[in-house]
Amino acid sequence: MAGEGAADPEILVEAQGIAMRFGEQTLFEGVSFTVRRGEIFVILGASGCGKSTLLKILIGLYPPSSGRALVLGEELCRLTGRRRLAALSRIGVMWQQGALLGSLDVLSNVALPMEQHTALPPEAREAIARAKLGLVGLGDALRKLPAELSGGMLKRAGIARALALDPEVLFLDEPGAGLDPVTSAGLDRLILTLARESGTTFVVVTHELASILAIGDRCVMLDRQARGIIAQGDPRRLREECDIPAVRAFFRREAA
Amino acid sequence: MRVGEAELAERQEAGGRVLVVSGRLDVHAAASLWRQMLAAARRPGLCALDARGLSALDSAGAVLLIEAQRAAGGIALIPPELPSARAALERMARGLRAAPLPPPPPAVGPITRIGLFALGVLAAAARRITFLGEVTLAALALARRPWGLRRQELLRHLEEAGTRAFGLCVLLGTLLGIILAFQSSIPMRKFGAELFIPQLVGIALLRELGALMAAIILAGRSGSAFAAELGTMRVNEEIDALTTMGIDPLPWLILPRILAAMLVMPVLALVVNLTGLVGMGVVMGGLGVPAGLVIAQLQQWVEVKDLLGGLFKAAMFGLVIGIIGCRCGMRAGGGPRAVGDAATAAVVGSIVAVVMMDGLFALLFFRLGW
Ligand SMILES: Nc1ncnc2c1ncn2[C@@H]1O[C@H](COP(=O)(O)OP(=O)(O)O)[C@@H](O)[C@H]1O
Ligand SMILES: [Mg+2]
């Protein structure tokens, strides 16, 4: 395991033996993996196995019960002040429901991170936000309030906001959940384009089989009974070759 | 001119001036160059924008280049040689093409605005009257089939709005009685008229303040809760679900609440009245007036009809608070603020309506000689 000072600059996200407990209950333990620059890394597993919790640990919202979560070589949950702001400006997060601020229109929501982290004048923020919204296909909804958007539009607006500062790592929580297959496939294509064109690294939480196979370079699978990772690797090879029953059931859509 | 690691320069060519940008045009360089570069682009005589020398370009920088090109009237933009920079430029150009600036909202003249405002007020009044009519019809239908009321719901709201407000009414009633008696004792003592304090406080409480205080308590506790609960149900599509199951939300959700508000109000007002009188008695004791005398004074001057008038008003206040609370909840729109807005509207609307009704009752009782 790399020491603090000698971190490999090509490893953007690293989980080192992360465990999470709520009171007596252990959600998972011994979770370790690395995400390299330019990869689309997928965290998969059934509902309630702790995918969102793991994501929140990675981005420093929850301190893990034990282990370390390194993003861009730093433990986000331990940073304070300027260093924390600097690290946060290099990552982007799309939340499960978009999490746009309800009192601001879509354009202002996307411009918000630039207001916090850069000295861009307002008209510049607006132009950049407009371009990002155009990229995610929301060019005709700039002045809409979040309450006026559908689920898929909210998620796309959430991606546009996460993209506002050209982050090096983008964390997405269930981009496809609750969307129709066409919209969901559109989101997958957007993620692939962004990864290929701008070299952004993605950490995607999802349980959508189609999207795992379409976008995932590598994946880890969490399991609730096993309280941790039960399989990792290329999702297409896992589907073909893995003979762990839970993994087979997941990839063949069988009831457990 | 050099900012951060990006550089802005001009070069003279046969066709005119060329604006040359080179170096690393990232978001921070873009932030400091933005206005300057757009100003340079707007100056006449520019024939091209040369970005060949860029060594890095992120999306903020790319948008700056495109905006500068547009500000200069669409002159030629010589793209960067670096492939990643060219890709960023193309990507952001695509994004901006897909998101044209929305046209500004059409200008509305002052006269039109007054007209729109008036229409809005009329429409709101019409919606209120409609709601009132629907509630009346539902209540009449219920009166014919009283077993159609959801007893469980009614009991729950009686408990919520009544039993749980009991402590608050005792506290505020006692304090109100103490304050009234104490404040009036100051001028009354100057005339040696302490003996009239029970009469003053008694009439003020029973006729006016008991009902008013109870109404404020009910509006703050239950009117807002009605609006918040129904607003949440509206936002979660629960009310639509009821309607499509063929269940009319009026008798199911609204009448129990309104009925509960109307039934608990006289009780709450009575609690405020009685505890207020006790509080007044305590102050009188402090002034050296024996309890027997206070009771005799009350018996002589305060009549049952004062009490009944106050309680009748209280029931009417409860009716209005219930109706306004439920209407605000049912009307809640979508969006995250809808529920909070509904609760606020319910409290404000209830208190305004109660005070206005109190004025009407004052006039009415005066005419009737009550
Ligand atoms: N703050 C918390 N306190 C207690 N339990 C929690 C907390 N947050 C999450 N959990 C539990 O962790 C489990 C996993 O939640 P989550 O990470 O949201 O799952 P997923 O995103 O995989 O569906 C859930 O069963 C939930 O009960
Ligand atoms: Mg989740």
Residue B236 is predicted with a pLDDT of: 82
Interface of B with A in 92-131 (CB under 8 A): 92, 94-102
Residue B87, chain A, CB below 8 Å: the answer is yes
Q: Contact A59/A93 with Cβ under 8 angstroms?
A: yes
Percent of chain A with pLDDT over 70: 96
pLDDT tens column, A136-187: 888 898 998 888 888 888 888 998 999 899 899 999 998 887 778 887 888 8
- For residues B37 and B72, what is the distance between their CA atoms, to the nearest angstrom? 10
- For residues A152 and A175, what is the distance between their CA atoms, to the nearest angstrom? 9
Residues of chain B with pLDDT under 70: 1-4, 334-336
Q: What is the longest distance spanned by two Cα atoms in chain A?
A: 56
Residue B2 is predicted with a pLDDT of: 55
Name B95's Cβ contacts closer than 8 Å, sequence gap at least 6: A130, A131, A132, A133, A134, A135, A139
The structural domains of chain A, with segments of one domain joined by +, span: 91-166
Residue A2 is predicted with a pLDDT of: 42
Q: What is the longest distance spanned by two Cα atoms in chain B?
A: 111
Q: Is A245 exposed, middle or buried (0-12, 13-18, 19+ CB in 10 A)?
A: exposed
pLDDT tens column, B202-234: 999 999 999 999 999 999 999 999 999 999 998
Q: Does the interface predicted TM-score (ipTM) exceed 0.90?
A: no
- Whose CA is closest to A1, among A19, A12, A16? A16
CA distances from B91 to A101, A176, A196, B55 (A): 27, 23, 12, 17
- CATH topology for B2-98? Transcription Regulator spoIIAA (3.30.750)
CB distance A193 to ligand 1 below 6 Å: no
Q: Is B109 exposed, middle or buried (0-12, 13-18, 19+ CB in 10 A)?
A: exposed
The structural domains of chain B, with segments of one domain joined by +, span: 2-98, 122-368
Task: Indicate the helix (H) or strand (E) that contains A14.
Answer: strand A11-22
Res. A3: pLDDT tops 50? no
Phi, psi for B56 (deg, rounded to 5): -160, 145
Interface of B with A in 296-355 (CB under 8 A): 333-338
pLDDT tens column, A60-119: 888 999 999 999 988 988 888 888 888 888 999 998 888 888 778 899 999 998 988 888
Strand A11-22's sheet: what is its strand order?
Answer: A25-36, A11-22, A66-71
Long-range CB contacts (within 8 A, 24+) of B278-281: B278/B174, B278/B177, B279/B173, B279/B174, B279/B175, B279/B176, B279/B177, B279/B178, B279/B181, B280/B177, B280/B178, B280/B180, B280/B181, B280/B197, B280/B198, B280/B201, B280/B202, B280/B205, B281/B177, B281/B198
Cα of B121 to nearest chain A Cα, Å? 24
Q: Is the dihedral of CA B31, B32, B33, B39 positive or negative?
A: positive
Residue B221 is predicted with a pLDDT of: 94
Q: Which residue has the tokens 């009192």?
A: A103
Cα B89 to chain centroid, rounded: 46
pLDDT tens column, A11-62: 899 999 999 998 888 999 999 999 999 899 999 988 888 999 999 999 988 8
Nearest atom in ligand 1 to A54's CA: 17
Cα of A130 to nearest chain B Cα, Å? 6
Cite the DSSP H helix spans in B25-109: 27-42, 59-71, 83-98
- For residues A135 and A141, what is the distance between their CA atoms, to the nearest angstrom? 12
CA distances from B178 to A187, B52, B280 (A): 67, 84, 5
Q: Contact B115/B108 with Cβ under 8 angstroms?
A: no
**Given phi > 0 = left and psi -120 to 50 = alpha, else beta, which region is B2?**
beta
CB distance A55 to ligand 1 below 6 Å: no
- For residues A228 and A51, what is the distance between their CA atoms, to the nearest angstrom? 10
